[in-house]
A and B are shown apart, each in its own frame.
Chain A
Amino acid sequence: MNVIIGLINGMISSATPLLLSALGGSLTFYAGIFNIAMEGMMLSGAFFAVLGSYFLHSWVAGIICGILGALLMALIFILFSIVLKVDEFVTGVGLNMFSLGLTTYLLRQIFSVKGAFTNPGIVSVPRIHLPFLESIPFLGKIISGQNLIVWLALIATIVCNFVVFRTQFGLRLRAAGYNRTCLDTSGVSSNRIQAISLIICAVLCGLAGSFLSLGYVTLFSENMSAGRGWISLAAVILVSGKPLGIALVSLIFGLADGLGLYLQASLPSQFTAMLPYVATLIALFFYSMKSINTKVEI
Chain B
Amino acid sequence: MRNFIINLAGILIAFLLGAIVMLFQHYNPVETYGALFGYSLENMYSFMTVLKNAVPLVLTGLSASVAFASGPVNLGQPGQLLIGALFATIGGLYVDLPAPLMIPFLILLSMLGGAIWSGLAGLMKQFFNMDEYITTLMLNMIADLLTFWAISFPLFEKKANHPQTPRIFRSGWMPKIGDFNTSVIVMLLAFAVVWFIFYRTVSGYEWRISGKNSLFARLGGVQIEKNYMRVMLLTGALAGLSGGLIIMAGPHRFIKGLGANYAWDGIMVSMVANNAIVGTLLYGIFFSILQTGSLGMELVTQVPSELVTVLQAVIVLVVVASRGYFDMILKQILTRRKMKERTS
Binding site for A on B (CB under 8 A): 25, 73, 124, 128-131, 134-135, 137-138, 140-142, 145-146, 148-149, 152-153, 261, 264-265, 267-268, 271, 304, 306-314, 316-317, 320-321, 324-325, 328
Contacting residues, chain B, for A280 (C-beta < 8 A): 134, 138
Structural contact, A271 and B310, CB atoms closer than 8 A: no
In the complex, which of the residues B129, B146, B307, B316 contacts A105, with contact meaning CB atoms closer than 8 Å? B307
Structural contact, B317 and A98, CB atoms closer than 8 A: yes
Contacting residues, chain A, for B317 (C-beta < 8 A): 76, 80, 86, 90-91, 94-95, 98
Structural contact, B137 and A227, CB atoms closer than 8 A: yes
Contacting residues, chain B, for A291 (C-beta < 8 A): 129
In the complex, which of the residues A102, A270, A285, A289 contacts B310, with contact meaning CB atoms closer than 8 Å? A102
Say yes or no: A271-B145 contact (C-beta < 8 A), given A108-B306, A292-B129.
yes
Structural contact, B316 and A94, CB atoms closer than 8 A: yes
Say yes or no: A270-B149 contact (C-beta < 8 A), given A90-B320, A277-B142, A278-B142.
yes
Closest 3 pairs between A and B when the two form their complex, measured CB to CB = A101-B309, A98-B313, A270-B149
Main secondary structure of the interface of A (DSSP, over half): helix
Structural contact, B313 and A95, CB atoms closer than 8 A: yes
A104 contacts chain B at the CB level, 8 A cutoff: yes
Quick one: closest A residue to B121, CB to CB? A281
Say yes or no: A105-B309 contact (C-beta < 8 A), given A237-B131, A285-B130.
yes
- Report Cα–Cα, A84/B146, bound state, in Å: 40
Chain A min CB distance to B216 (Å):
15
- Report Cα–Cα, A95/B309, bound state, in Å: 11
In the complex, which of the residues B140, B142, B306, B325 contacts A104, with contact meaning CB atoms closer than 8 Å? B306
30 contacts between A and B (CB under 8 A): A85-B328, A87-B320, A89-B73, A90-B317, A90-B320, A93-B271, A94-B320, A95-B313, A95-B317, A97-B268, A97-B309, A97-B312, A97-B313, A98-B310, A98-B317, A100-B309, A101-B310, A101-B312, A105-B310, A227-B137, A230-B141, A231-B138, A237-B131, A268-B149, A270-B145, A271-B149, A274-B145, A284-B135, A285-B130, A292-B129
- Report Cα–Cα, A109/B21, bound state, in Å: 12
Structural contact, B130 and A274, CB atoms closer than 8 A: no
Quick one: closest A residue to B260, CB to CB? A223
A233 contacts chain B at the CB level, 8 A cutoff: yes
Contacting residues, chain A, for B124 (C-beta < 8 A): 281, 285
Say yes or no: A285-B313 contact (C-beta < 8 A), given A105-B304, A108-B306, A270-B149.
no
In the complex, which of the residues B128, B134, B268, B308 contacts A94, with contact meaning CB atoms closer than 8 Å? B268
- Report Cα–Cα, A278/B265, bound state, in Å: 25
- Report Cα–Cα, A280/B124, bound state, in Å: 13
Chain A min CB distance to B132 (Å):
11
Contacting residues, chain B, for A80 (C-beta < 8 A): 317, 321
Contacting residues, chain A, for B321 (C-beta < 8 A): 80, 84, 86
- Report Cα–Cα, A86/B322, bound state, in Å: 9
Contacting residues, chain B, for A84 (C-beta < 8 A): 321, 324-325
Contacting residues, chain A, for B129 (C-beta < 8 A): 288, 291-292
Contacting residues, chain A, for B306 (C-beta < 8 A): 101, 104-105, 108
In the complex, which of the residues A237, A278, A288 contacts B128, with contact meaning CB atoms closer than 8 Å? A288
Extra inter-chain contacts (19) besides given A85-B325, A86-B317, A101-B307, CB under 8 Å: A84-B324, A86-B321, A93-B264, A94-B268, A94-B271, A94-B316, A97-B264, A97-B313, A101-B311, A104-B309, A105-B306, A230-B137, A277-B138, A277-B142, A281-B138, A284-B130, A284-B134, A284-B135, A292-B128
- Report Cα–Cα, A284/B134, bound state, in Å: 9
Contacting residues, chain B, for A100 (C-beta < 8 A): 261, 309
Structural contact, B267 and A93, CB atoms closer than 8 A: yes
A246 contacts chain B at the CB level, 8 A cutoff: no
- Report Cα–Cα, A234/B145, bound state, in Å: 19
Most B Cβ at <10 Å: residue of A95, A233, A280: A280
Say yes or no: A281-B271 contact (C-beta < 8 A), given A97-B313, A109-B25.
no
- Report Cα–Cα, A105/B310, bound state, in Å: 8
Quick one: closest B residue to A287, CB to CB? B130
Quick one: closest A residue to B311, CB to CB? A101
Contacting residues, chain B, for A274 (C-beta < 8 A): 141-142, 145-146
Quick one: closest B residue to A286, CB to CB? B128
Quick one: closest A residue to B21, CB to CB? A105
- Report Cα–Cα, A102/B265, bound state, in Å: 15
A249-288 contacts to B, CB under 8 A, are 268, 270-271, 273-274, 277-278, 280-281, 284-285, 288
Chain B min CB distance to A119 (Å):
19
- Report Cα–Cα, A277/B130, bound state, in Å: 14
Contacting residues, chain A, for B142 (C-beta < 8 A): 274, 277-278
- Report Cα–Cα, A84/B326, bound state, in Å: 11
A72-92 contacts to B, CB under 8 A, are 76, 80, 84-87, 89-91
Structural contact, B149 and A234, CB atoms closer than 8 A: no
Contacting residues, chain B, for A94 (C-beta < 8 A): 268, 271, 313, 316-317, 320
